Chain A
Amino acid sequence: MNIVVCIKQVPNTNEVKLDPKTGTLIREGVPSIINPDDKAGLEAALRLKDAQGAHVTVLSMGPPQADAALREALAMGADEAVLVTDRAFGGADTWATAHTIAAALKKLPFDLIITGRQAIDGDTAQVGPQIAENLNLPNISYAEDIKVEGDYVTVKRQFEDRYHIVKVKMPCLITALSELNEPRYMTPGGIFDAYRAKEVKVITRQDLDVQDGDIGLKGSPTRVVQTFTKSPKAAGTLVNNLNPQEAAEYMLEKLREKFII
């Protein structure tokens, strides 16, 4: 079984501080990590490898520094690493990113693709499903448990108030949650092998069958105008012991109070 795990290198937001004057993130000097949901996806792939044998490839699209995230994945036990990098890919939104990653994935053998649910720096949760869409693959998001039997994957999918148990034939794409598992540590010998015995394969613009208008900033239909931290909602009011008539009147009154109706 060939598993490709897509990972993103992100700033460790636990260590990010806000600039008190501008209110923006200070990223300088903040260590980079593998995005937690992606790391859980990698751990899930490595567990499948331990249990039933698999070839695990990690793939990352990003600047050359993302090499460190891929080496970390190798040191944890991944077999192969691919870095998709080119100045032409810079400034990509989720649409262009997914389009580019999908084009790179077409160059690799895979039965199962695992991505994280979302990255802690952008929080969109879009790239995984968009890759699946680009490759015309079934997609199961929010995986909390993954089992493989023959050609089928059974996934326990987290939902707001329940779980879905979804069984799907491979090839398919799964997006993983950091709750899925506790990722293993690297091993010291694995680190030395990652730097001295293994290579990170580099894929650039010219290796991919894509149009210039579909990649990078040019290929990005969305623009980020502003980012902000959502302010938490105040707790709601609970009104008990009203009959339907009274409840309707109460709500009507509140809506009028706020000039909604």
Chain B
Amino acid sequence: MDFTLSKEHQMARTLFKEFAEKEIKPYAQEIDEEERFPAEALEKMRKYKFMGIPYAKELGGAGCDTLTYEMCIEEICKVCATTGTMLSAHTSLGTWPIVKYGTPEQKAKYLPKLCTGEYLGAFALTEPNAGTDSSAQQTKAVLDGDHYVINGSKIFITNGGYADTYIVFAMTDKSKGNHGISAFIVEKTFPGFSVGKKEKKMGIRGSSTCELIFNNCIVPKENLLGQEGKGFVVAMTTLDNGRVGIAAQALGIAEGALDETVKYVNERKQFGRPLSKFQNTQFEIADMATKVKAAQLLMYRAAVAEDTQKVYSEEAAMAKLYCASTAMDVTTRCLQLHGGYGYTREYPIERMMRDAKITEIYEGTSEVQKMVIAKYALK
């Protein structure tokens, strides 16, 4: 068992770190403050070919692996979780299902554009009455000759309004429950598709989170993704892979908060000495550094499992559960160490704490992760 990264992974990490520090960090606070989509970051990530990192070159990707991609999310989220969310939703949720389930024609049509970032991808499963209970889908798709007609709405869709393609789930046979769900590739230009209201959120405020409206939306038959009635499997496997991305995001937020706090406690003086000289600070930092490292090992294990195992639901669920709770715990404690300054928007710590919370909620709440883990643990 070897815990060292390969030379290419080390170099990739150096790249992502430098890129995040120089190209993304300077905008992070502003993007949050103005609730603005990180368009300049997207442009640069396109230029440096960050938009299809884990996918094969034949598909238009960079030909790296899942671990490299997750390290990219981790490093970006150290400085800006909004930007990480955009890239993660695009890569893990908007592109992956086509890589995994697309027909050769669908792959040829969409993947080169998604992997270069010419197209931004998104994923639309959640509905007002179908969150964790995703089988309660009300959006319907009816086959009509050479196309499907989709009616309904989706909510909380990341990259909504900016994405060019959406992986959309709809009921093709309501009577069959989970087995009546189908997946579709919907382009933003398809007739009957529109973007509804944009959510105002607590954290990741620059990320665009929107409602999608399907009003007799015409989707060509060849845009059915996977078989009819197999959409639930598409959704669940996509979420397994997406969860590793959220684990990476949560881990990045925790690491970023810890980095900021280490800097702060070394500089800030009270009672004539730096905060870092007080034992409470030392114990807090030691405890958090240990949790962060444990979270990183769980995340890396899940990332490697994704490339080497057929099923990695348990690894993904554990990584997401632990990384998310670590992010919440570490950012809260880091803010506490910052004292009053931490509560102001002059320091990034309050933003990081707000950003951390979503990682316990989206792509399966922490409670859902426990359900998955328990299923394996109680076997």
Interface residues of A (CB under 8 A from B): 31, 68, 71-72, 75, 184-196
How many Cβ-Cβ contacts under 8 Å join chain A to chain B? 56
Contact residues of B between 174 and 194, Cβ < 8 Å to A: none
Give the residue of B6, B7, B18, B53 whose beta carbon is less than 8 angstroms from that of A188. Answer: B53
Known: A185-B48, A187-B48. A192 touches B8 (CB 8 A): yes
Contacts of A184 in B (CB 8 A): 48
List 11 A–B pairs whose Cβ atoms lie within 8 Å, in order of A's numbering: A68-B7, A72-B11, A185-B18, A185-B19, A185-B48, A188-B15, A188-B48, A188-B62, A192-B62, A193-B63, A195-B7
Q: How far is the CA of A184 from the CA of B49 in the complex (A)?
A: 12
Q: How far is the CA of A137 from the CA of B151 in the complex (A)?
A: 73
Contacts of A31 in B (CB 8 A): 14
Q: How far is the CA of A196 from the CA of B68 in the complex (A)?
A: 14
Give the residue of B14, B18, B19, B63 whose beta carbon is less than 8 angstroms from that of A192. Answer: B63
Contact residues of B between 6 and 64, Cβ < 8 Å to A: 6-8, 11-12, 14-15, 18-19, 48-50, 53, 57, 61-64
B265: interface (CB < 8 Å)? no
Contact residues of B between 99 and 133, Cβ < 8 Å to A: none
Contacts of A75 in B (CB 8 A): 11, 15
B72: interface (CB < 8 Å)? yes
Contacts of A194 in B (CB 8 A): 8, 11
A192 touches B15 (CB 8 A): no
Contacts of B49 in A (CB 8 A): 187-190
Minimum CB–CB distance from A36 to chain B (whole Å) comes to 14
Q: How far is the CA of A187 from the CA of B64 in the complex (A)?
A: 10
A191 touches B19 (CB 8 A): no
A187 touches B62 (CB 8 A): yes
Q: How far is the CA of A54 from the CA of B86 in the complex (A)?
A: 36
Q: How far is the CA of A80 from the CA of B267 in the complex (A)?
A: 46
Residue in chain A with minimal CB distance to B23: A185
Q: How far is the CA of A169 from the CA of B351 in the complex (A)?
A: 57
Q: How far is the CA of A190 from the CA of B62 in the complex (A)?
A: 8
Contact residues of B between 69 and 107, Cβ < 8 Å to A: 72
Those 10 A-B pairs whose CB atoms lie nearest each other, nearest first: A189-B62, A195-B8, A187-B49, A188-B62, A188-B53, A191-B11, A188-B64, A186-B15, A185-B48, A192-B64
A71 touches B11 (CB 8 A): yes
Q: How far is the CA of A68 from the CA of B72 in the complex (A)?
A: 20
A191 touches B18 (CB 8 A): no
Q: How far is the CA of A65 from the CA of B124 in the complex (A)?
A: 48
A189 touches B63 (CB 8 A): yes
Minimum CB–CB distance from B52 to chain A (whole Å) comes to 9
Q: How far is the CA of A186 from the CA of B11 in the complex (A)?
A: 9
Contacts of B61 in A (CB 8 A): 189
Minimum CB–CB distance from A191 to chain B (whole Å) comes to 5
A185 touches B15 (CB 8 A): yes
A191 touches B8 (CB 8 A): yes
Contacts of A190 in B (CB 8 A): 49
Q: How far is the CA of A75 from the CA of B9 in the complex (A)?
A: 13
Minimum CB–CB distance from A190 to chain B (whole Å) comes to 8
A189 touches B64 (CB 8 A): yes
Residue in chain A with minimal CB distance to B71: A188
Contacts of B63 in A (CB 8 A): 189, 192-193
Residue in chain A with minimal CB distance to B65: A192
Known: A72-B11, A195-B7. A188 touches B57 (CB 8 A): no
B8 touches A196 (CB 8 A): yes
Residue in chain B with minimal CB distance to A71: B11
Q: How far is the CA of A187 from the CA of B51 in the complex (A)?
A: 11
Contacts of B19 in A (CB 8 A): 185
Q: How far is the CA of A196 from the CA of B48 in the complex (A)?
A: 19
Minimum CB–CB distance from B11 to chain A (whole Å) comes to 5
Contacts of A195 in B (CB 8 A): 6-8, 11
Minimum CB–CB distance from A181 to chain B (whole Å) comes to 15
Q: How far is the CA of A185 from the CA of B20 in the complex (A)?
A: 11
Q: How far is the CA of A31 from the CA of B15 in the complex (A)?
A: 13
Most buried by A among B12, B14, B68: B12
Residue in chain A with minimal CB distance to B7: A195
Contacts of A192 in B (CB 8 A): 8, 12, 62-64, 68
Residue in chain A with minimal CB distance to B13: A191
Most buried by B among A31, A190, A196: A190
Contacts of A193 in B (CB 8 A): 63
Most buried by B among A185, A193, A194, A196: A185
Residue in chain B with minimal CB distance to A189: B62
Minimum CB–CB distance from B93 to chain A (whole Å) comes to 19
Minimum CB–CB distance from A187 to chain B (whole Å) comes to 4
Residue in chain A with minimal CB distance to B52: A189
Contacts of B18 in A (CB 8 A): 185
